[in-house]
C-alpha cells in the first residue's frame, strides 16, 4: 500500500507541471537542497539561485525526509530539475531517472579526488557532480588523555582498553552514538579490517572475515563495559556532549570542527578508526553530497549549465559552501588545497587522515545491504549474538541483494 | 361526483403527484450532493482504490526504482518476502507484542472508563483530560519520551525516579531489551488509552440501569461479581470492537517505533520493514507485496476474531447474540 501511495502521489503531481520558461524568456529551474544544520546555508543557496543570470532558479529548501521527497518527484517525472543527493542509487540510474553528466564531469575527473568520484560513477558514467566531502573519524581531548596517562590507540583492541581507562565518574571514555555504536561500527569496522564492504568490481560482499568477527566480539565487550556514553540528549553528529566534556573520545564529522575549536581551543585531536585484526588499516568514513540533474527536466541543458557553473567553475562559491558554515572538503583537490581554513590545526589533520585512510563503499552498497549488516551488528552488541554466525547471515543477504542488482 | 385518479396516472399527465413518492433529485440537490461528496470520492478513488489496485499490480513485477515496471516476476516478490528472516521475525515479534499490548491497553482503558463512569462529579472534565493525549502527535510524544522522560542522563525523569528509589540510573533505555519495551508500551498506553476509554464509556452508558436495580434487589449491589455478571457481558460488543481496533493498531504500529527504536531489528514492526523495503531500498514490488500480506493478515485476524469473539454480531434485548443477517430474518 505504501508503494502505491507514491503512485497516487505521482498521479497528483502530474497535474503540477513546471513551466519550461519564465516571462523574461529565461529557462525556469527548480533546485532542491536538504536542510543543512549550519546557520546561513539556506540564505546562501537562495541568494546564489537569485543571482544566477542564465536561468530563473527557484530554490526548494526541504525539511524532513529529503531523500523520499526527491525520489517521489523523480518517479513522478515532474517538478524537479536540479537537486542534491547523498544516496545515488544504481537502480534509479539504470531506470533513467538521472541525467547523464559524464560530459561535464569527465573533463575535470583528473582534478578530483578518486574517492569523491566513486559515489557518482555507475556503469562507466557519471550521474552527479560531487559538492562536498564529509569525513568522519575520532576526535579526542588530549587533556583527558594526559590525565588518564594514555596514548592515542593504534589498534582496535587498544582503543577498547583506552576507552575503559578514560572512563571516570565525571565522564565516559567514548561516544559512539546513542545506539551503542551499532551504526558507526557496522559501516567502519569492515574497512578497518582491510577487507571493506564490497570488492573493487562490486560483485562480491567482502566484510565477512574472522578479523571482523573478533573485532565485533571486542565491541560487544566494550558495549557492556560501561565505558560508552549513551542516552545523550543529541547523537554523535552533534558536538554538544563532546564539548560539554561528557566523553573523552567521540566519533565526529569534520563539519563540527568550527564549533569544537571555538569551545575547546586546541584541546582536541583526531585519529582514524584504528586497525582491526592483523591485516587491518585505519579507516575514515567518507560520505558526500552530489548535485544531479533530473532526466525528466524540461530544461535539461540549462540545468546542466547551472550545475557546471556552480559546482565546477565557481571556485569561490565552492570554497564558501565548503568552509563558510561548517567544514567540509571540496572535492576538487586544487580547491581543497587552496582553502585556508583547511590548511592548519585539527582541520588539516582531518583532511590528511582522510587522504590517507578515507573509505567510501560507493553506490553498489545499497540501503538494503546496510540494514542487513547493521541488524547483525545490533544483535551482536545489544543481544550478545554470536558474531561469526550473524556476520555470515548478513553477508549472504547482502550478496543476494548485490547479485539481484547486478542481474 | 369526484373521481380519484391514481398517482401514477397523474404523473403521466404531467401534474405533481398528490402524495409523496420517491422523487427524482432536483438539479440543485444533485449539484450539492456531488459538490460535497465529489472531492471525497475523487480522493478515495485516487488515494485508496487506484493505490490498492496499483499495489496488487506492482507486487507481481520487478519494480526497482520504478512504478511502471515491465518485468513480470509472478510470485517472486511474495516468495522473497515470506522467506526473508527479517520479515518473518518482525511478524513473530509483533504477534507477541499484540498479545501483550492488546489486553494491557484494554485493561487500562476499561479501568479508566469504570473510574470515570462512576465518578459522582466532574465526569466530563476527567473524560476530556484522559482523552486529550489521543489528539497528540505520535512523533512529538515519542520525542518527549526520548529526550525528556527516558533519556540516559541522570537528570532524565525516569532516572531521577530510579534515583529517588535508590536504584542505579539506566543509560540504555532505547537500546536494550526489556527497557525499550517499557518506553514503547508506556508511550502507547498514554496515547491510546483515552480513545478506547471513550468507546468503553459509551458502552457502559448503554447498559440499562434496570439490570443493576434488579441485581440490587437480589442482593448484588457491588463488587466483582456484579461486574462479571452484568457489566462485562453487556460490554461484550464494545469490547469486541475495541479488541479488533487494538489488534489493527498493533499491526499498524509505526511512528513511535520509527522514532524511538527504528534501528533495532528485534523491535521492528512489519510496517516499518515494508517502509524500508519500499522507500529506502526503492523495491516497490516487494514493498507492495509486503503491504498486501499485512492487509491479508489483518483481514484474517478480523474474521477469526468475529468468529470467536463476536464482533459483527447484534444483541437482542434479552442478551441473546445472533448474526446480523439472522437477526433480520
| Interface touch B153/A232, C-beta < 8 Å | yes
Which residues of A141-223 form beta strands (DSSP E)? 172-175
Strand partners, A133: A288, A329
**Alpha-carbon span B178 to B175, nearest angstrom:** 9
User: Would you report the helix, strand and coil content of chain B in percent, each value rounded to 5?
Assistant: 70, 5, 25
| Interface touch A1/B276, C-beta < 8 Å | no
> Which among A8, A68, A372 is the nearest to B50, CB-wise?
A8
Take residue B51 and report the three cell numbers written for it: 493505490
Instruction: Please report which confidence band the pLDDT of residue A140 belongs to, taking 50, 70 and 90 as the band edges.
Output: very high
Residues of A in contact with B76 (CB under 8 A): none
Burial state string for B9-29 with b = 16 or more CB within 10 A and e = fewer than 16:
eeeeeeeeeeeeeeeeeeeee
Residues of B in contact with A179 (CB under 8 A): 174-175, 263
Instruction: Measure in Å the smallest separation between the Cα of B165 and chain A Cα atoms.
Output: 20
Instruction: Please report which confidence band the pLDDT of residue B19 belongs to, taking 50, 70 and 90 as the band edges.
Output: low
The runs of H, that is alpha helices, within B118-230 are: 123-131, 138-143, 157-164, 179-206, 209-217, 224-226
**Alpha-carbon span B89 to B95, nearest angstrom:** 10
Question: What is B18-44 written as a DSSP string?
Answer: SS---PPPPHHHHHHHHHHHHHHHHHH
Residues of A in contact with B291 (CB under 8 A): 1-4
Which residue matches cell numbers 505521482?
A: A10
| Interface touch B281/A68, C-beta < 8 Å | no
Kind of pairing between the strands at A125-126 and A121-122: antiparallel
Instruction: Please report which confidence band the pLDDT of residue B310 belongs to, taking 50, 70 and 90 as the band edges.
Output: low
Q: Which of B175, B275, B292 to mutate to test the interface with A (most CBs of A within 10 A)?
A: B175
**Alpha-carbon span B26 to B18, nearest angstrom:** 18
Instruction: Please report which confidence band the pLDDT of residue B313 belongs to, taking 50, 70 and 90 as the band edges.
Output: low
Task: Report pLDDT digits (tens) over B74-126.
Answer: 999 999 999 999 999 999 988 888 889 999 999 999 999 999 999 999 999 99
| Interface touch A4/B265, C-beta < 8 Å | no
Task: Report pLDDT digits (tens) over B154-193.
Answer: 888 999 999 999 999 998 999 998 999 999 999 999 999 9
| Interface touch B153/A3, C-beta < 8 Å | no
Percent of chain A at pLDDT exceeding 90: 91
> Which among A7, A368, A374 is the nearest to B51, CB-wise?
A7
| Interface touch B50/A11, C-beta < 8 Å | yes
| Interface touch A368/B281, C-beta < 8 Å | yes
pLDDT at B312: 55
pLDDT at B93: 86
Radius of gyration of chain A (CA): 22
Question: Roughly what angle, to the nearest 10 degrees, separates helices B179-206 and B232-251?
Answer: 140
Tell me the three state secondary structure of residue A44: helix
| Interface touch B282/A71, C-beta < 8 Å | yes
- Sign (positive or negative) of CA dihedral B38, B39, B41, B45: positive
DSSP at B166: T
pLDDT at B27: 85
Specify burial of residue B50 (Cβ count, 10 A radius: 0-12, 13-18, 19+): middle
Q: From the centroid of its chain, how far is CA B137?
A: 16
pLDDT at B20: 53
Tell me the three state secondary structure of residue B60: coil
pTM beyond 0.90: no
pLDDT at B26: 80
Would you say residue B6 has pLDDT above 60? no
How far the first Cα of chain B sits from its last, in Å, is: 47
Instruction: Please report which confidence band the pLDDT of residue A6 belongs to, taking 50, 70 and 90 as the band edges.
Output: very low
Burial state string for A267-301 with b = 16 or more CB within 10 A and e = fewer than 16:
ebebbbbbbbbeebbbbbbbebbbbbbbbbbbbbe
Angle of CA points A307, A312, A316, to nearest 5°: 110
Task: Report pLDDT digits (tens) over A219-230.
Answer: 999 999 999 999
Which residue matches cell numbers 498514554?
A: B190
Nearest residue on chain B to A378, alpha-carbon basis: B264
How far the first Cα of chain A sits from its last, in Å, is: 27
**Alpha-carbon span B320 to B329, nearest angstrom:** 15
Take residue A5 and report the three cell numbers written for it: 501511495
Nearest residue on chain A to B67, alpha-carbon basis: A7
Which residue matches cell numbers 562559491?
A: A317
Task: Report pLDDT digits (tens) over A288-346.
Answer: 999 999 999 999 999 999 999 999 999 999 999 999 999 999 999 999 999 999 999 99
Instruction: Please report which confidence band the pLDDT of residue A17 belongs to, taking 50, 70 and 90 as the band edges.
Output: very low
Q: Does residue B178 have a cis bond before it (omega within 30 degrees)?
A: yes
Overall size of chain A counted in residues: 407
**Alpha-carbon span B261 to B255, nearest angstrom:** 10
Task: Report pLDDT digits (tens) over B32-62.
Answer: 999 999 999 999 999 999 999 999 999 999 9
Picking from A329, A335, A372, the residue whose alpha carbon sits closest to that of residue A354 is A329
Residue of higher predicted confidence among B320 and A93: A93
> Looking at the predicted complex, does its ipTM rise above 0.95?
no
Picking from B292, B290, B291, B262, the residue whose alpha carbon sits closest to that of residue B83 is B290
Task: Report pLDDT digits (tens) over A262-293.
Answer: 999 999 999 999 999 999 999 999 999 999 99
Instruction: Measure in Å the smallest separation between the Cα of A3 and chain B Cα atoms.
Output: 5
Angle of CA points B229, B235, B239, to nearest 5°: 125
pLDDT at B234: 93
Mean pLDDT of A194-211: 97
Would you say residue B14 has pLDDT above 50? no
Would you say residue B260 has pLDDT above 60? yes
Amino acid at each position: 500500500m505504501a508503494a502505491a501511495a507514491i503512485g497516487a502521489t505521482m498521479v497528483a503531481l502530474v497535474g503540477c507541471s513546471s513551466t519550461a520558461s519564465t516571462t523574461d524568456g529565461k529557462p525556469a529551474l527548480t533546485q532542491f537542497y536538504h536542510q543543512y544544520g549550519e546557520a546561513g546555508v539556506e540564505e546562501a543557496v537562495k541568494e546564489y539561485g537569485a543571482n544566477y543570470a542564465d536561468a530563473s532558479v527557484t530554490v526548494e529548501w526541504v525539511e524532513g525526509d529529503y531523500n523520499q521527497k526527491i525520489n517521489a518527484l523523480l518517479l513522478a517525472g515532474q517538478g524537479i530539475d536540479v537537486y542534491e543527493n547523498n544516496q545515488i542509487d544504481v537502480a534509479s540510474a539504470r531506470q533513467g531517472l538521472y541525467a547523464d553528466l559524464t560530459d561535464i564531469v569527465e573533463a575535470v575527473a583528473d582534478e578530483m579526488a578518486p574517492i569523491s568520484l566513486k559515489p557518482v560513477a555507475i556503469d562507466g558514467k557519471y550521474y552527479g557532480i560531487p559538492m562536498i566531502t564529509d569525513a568522519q573519524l575520532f576526535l579526542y581531548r588530549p587533556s583527558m588523555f594526559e590525565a588518564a596517562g594514555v596514548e592515542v590507540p593504534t589498534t582496535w583492541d587498544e582503543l577498547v582498553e583506552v576507552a575503559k581507562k578514560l572512563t571516570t565518574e565525571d565522564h565516559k571514555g567514548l561516544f559512539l552514538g546513542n545506539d551503542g555504536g551499532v551504526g558507526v561500527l557496522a559501516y567502519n569496522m569492515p574497512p578497518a579490517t582491510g577487507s571493506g564492504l564490497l570488492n573493487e568490481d562490486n560483485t562480491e560482499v567482502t566484510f565477512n572475515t574472522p578479523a571482523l568477527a573478533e573485532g565485533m566480539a571486542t565491541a560487544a565487550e566494550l558495549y557492556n563495559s560501561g565505558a560508552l556514553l549513551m542516552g545523550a540528549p543529541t547523537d554523535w553528529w552533534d558536538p554538544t556532549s563532546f564539548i560539554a566534556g561528557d566523553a573523552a573520545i567521540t566519533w565526529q564529522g569534520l563539519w563540527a570542527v568550527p564549533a569544537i575549536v571555538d569551545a575547546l581551543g586546541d584541546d582536541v585531536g583526531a585519529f582514524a578508526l584504528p586497525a582491526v585484526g592483523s591485516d587491518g588499516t585505519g579507516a575514515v568514513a567518507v560520505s558526500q553530497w552530489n548535485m544531479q540533474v533530473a532526466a525528466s527536466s524540461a530544461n535539461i541543458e540549462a540545468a546542466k549549465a547551472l550545475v557546471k557553473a556552480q559546482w565546477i567553475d565557481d571556485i569561490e562559491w565552492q570554497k564558501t559552501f565548503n568552509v563558510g558554515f561548517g567544514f567540509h572538503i571540496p572535492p576538487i583537490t586544487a580547491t581543497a588545497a587552496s582553502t585556508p581554513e583547511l590548511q592548519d590545526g585539527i582541520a588539516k589533520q582531518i583532511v590528511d587522515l582522510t587522504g590517507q585512510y578515507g573509505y567510501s563503499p560507493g553506490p553498489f552498497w545499497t540501503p538494503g545491504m546496510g540494514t542487513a549488516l547493521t541488524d547483525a551488528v545490533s544483535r551482536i552488541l545489544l543481544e550478545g549474538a554470536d558474531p561469526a554466525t550473524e556476520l555470515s547471515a548478513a553477508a549472504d543477504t547482502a550478496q543476494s541483494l548485490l547479485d539481484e542488482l547486478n542481474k | 361526483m369526484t373521481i380519484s385518479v391514481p398517482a401514477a396516472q397523474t404523473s403521466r399527465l404531467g401534474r405533481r403527484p398528490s402524495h409523496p413518492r420517491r422523487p427524482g433529485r432536483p438539479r440543485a440537490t444533485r449539484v450539492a450532493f456531488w459538490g460535497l461528496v465529489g472531492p471525497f470520492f475523487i480522493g478515495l478513488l485516487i488515494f485508496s482504490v487506484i493505490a490498492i489496485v496499483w499495489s496488487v499490480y506492482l507486487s507481481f513485477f520487478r519494480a526497482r526504482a520504478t512504478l511502471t515496471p515491465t518485468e513480470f516476476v509472478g510470485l517472486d516478490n511474495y516468495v522473497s518476502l515470506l522467506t526473508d528472516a527479517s520479515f518473518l521475525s518482525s511478524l513473530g515479534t509483533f504477534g507477541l507484542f499484540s498479545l501483550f499490548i492488546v489486553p494491557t491497553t484494554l485493561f487500562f482503558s476499561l479501568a479508566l472508563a469504570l473510574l470515570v463512569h462512576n465518578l459522582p462529579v466532574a465526569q466530563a472534565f476527567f473524560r476530556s483530560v484522559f482523552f486529550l493525549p489521543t489528539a497528540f502527535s505520535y512523533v512529538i510524544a515519542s520525542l518527549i519520551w526520548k529526550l525528556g522522560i527516558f533519556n540516559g542522563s541522570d537528570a532524565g525523569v525516569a532516572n531521577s525516579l530510579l534515583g529517588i528509589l535508590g536504584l542505579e540510573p539506566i543509560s540504555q533505555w532505547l537500546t536494550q531489551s526489556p527497557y525499550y519495551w517499557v518506553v514503547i508500551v508506556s508511550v502507547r498506553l498514554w496515547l491510546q488509552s483515552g480513545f478506547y476509554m471513550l468507546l468503553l464509556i459509551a458502552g457502559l452508558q448503554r447498559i440499562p440501569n434496570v439490570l443493576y436495580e434488579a441485581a440490587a434487589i437480589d442482593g448484588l449491589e457491588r463488587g466483582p461479581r456484579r461486574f462479571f455478571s452484568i457489566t462485562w457481558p453487556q460490554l461484550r460488543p464494545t469490547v469486541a470492537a475495541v479488541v479488533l481496533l487494538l489488534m489493527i493498531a498493533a499491526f499498524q504500529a509505526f511512528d513511535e517505533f520509527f522514532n524511538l527504536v527504528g534501528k533495532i531489528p528485534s523491535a521492528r514492526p512489519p510496517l516499518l520493514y515494508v517502509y524500508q523495503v519500499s522507500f529506502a531500498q526503492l523495491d516497490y514490488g516487494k514493498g507492495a507485496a509486503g503491504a498486501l500480506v499485512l492487509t491479508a493478515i489483518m483481514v484474517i485476524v478480523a474474521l477469526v476474531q468475529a468468529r470467536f469473539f463476536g464482533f459483527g454480531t447484534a444483541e437482542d434485548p434479552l442478551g441473546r447474540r445472533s448474526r446480523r443477517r439472522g437477526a433480520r430474518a
